[in-house]
Amino acid sequence: MSIKKRVLIVEDEPSLVFTLKDTLENEGYEVAIVEDGKEAVNIVKDFRPDLMLLDIMLPGMSGFEVCKKVREMKMNFPIIMLTARDQEIDKVTGLNIGADDYITKPFGVKELLARIQARLRRANTYNKPGPINTVNLGDIRVDLNESKVIHPDKEVELTTREVELIRFLVANANEPVSRDSLLENVWRYEFSTNTRTVDVHISKLRTKIETHPDDPRYLVTLHGVGYMIKLA
């Protein structure tokens, strides 16, 4: 007998909560519901969801704040944001602070179920046994479990997104990785975008893992192709 996947619904609209709960339970999911942002942050450690459906406009604490706090707690389950907003800047904000997907109300139940299934499949791929947790770059050691870079004379903290970025690049070490591939697999973008998000994150990451960020030895740019992390 398979173990039910757990979905935490963080939403304060009663009719939508009823529909989501009924639909997901009929699909075999175990469902928990909270209507307040602060309560959502408090419950995640006990409920340990496999996925969170998170509204942006919430009492107590916004969905953006909830998402940020959950990621600061080093919890990497997929987060799909639900909102009536449809401006691209809101989507980018949510995705940049750690959300995995974004769906605008009103939405179709079939579309939502498809997105949930896709995110859970991808999460299972990331959580396969034996992930790489330590990367050695000369005198610098990257500890992905602790989210930090250890230099001979200092330690530097990594964000959750930077950890995911390194994991994906290391999984494809010594091979070119396109910007589109990074957007799809690390940021999980599912809409066309001209954002320079990848370039900005790569630049910031170089300042943390390279001795000479302006002349990188390990995290290199392949002009017209993308990026590559070079490992021995």
**What are phi and psi for residue 31, nearest 5 degrees?**
-120, 135
Residue with tokens 């989501």: 20
Residues whose CB falls within 8 Å of the CB of residue 226, separated by 6 or more in sequence, listed in order: 176, 177, 178, 179, 181, 182
For 165-211, what is each residue's pLDDT tens digit?
Answer: 998 899 888 889 988 888 888 876 644 445 578 888 999 999 999 99
Q: Residue 2: pLDDT above 70?
A: no
Residues whose CB falls within 8 Å of the CB of residue 210, separated by 6 or more in sequence, listed in order: 137, 216, 217, 218, 219
For 87-143, what is each residue's pLDDT tens digit?
Answer: 666 667 777 778 888 888 888 888 899 989 888 877 665 554 445 688 999 899 999
pLDDT given at position 96: 74
**182: which 2 tokens?**
């990074």
**What are phi and psi for residue 170, nearest 5 degrees?**
-65, -35
pLDDT given at position 195: 58
CATH fold of 134-229: Arc Repressor Mutant, subunit A (1.10.10)
3 or 197: which leads in pLDDT: 197
Categorize the per-residue pLDDT at 1 as very low, low, confident or very high, splitting at 50, 70 and 90: very low
Categorize the per-residue pLDDT at 161 as very low, low, confident or very high, splitting at 50, 70 and 90: confident
**38: which 2 tokens?**
């602060």
**What are phi and psi for residue 128, nearest 5 degrees?**
-60, 150
pTM tops 0.75: no
For 17-67, what is each residue's pLDDT tens digit?
Answer: 999 999 999 999 999 999 999 999 999 988 989 999 999 888 889 999 999
Q: Residue 8: pLDDT above 50?
A: yes
pLDDT given at position 151: 93
CA separation for the pair 32, 63 (Å, rounded)? 17
Which range among 13-17, 82-86, 180-184 shows the weakest confidence by mean pLDDT?
82-86
pLDDT given at position 181: 85
- The verdict on whether omega for the bond into residue 152 sits within 30 degrees of 0, i.e. cis, is no
- Comma-separated ranges of CATH 1.10.10.10 domains in the chain: 134-229
Q: What is the CATH number of domain 6-126?
A: 3.40.50.2300
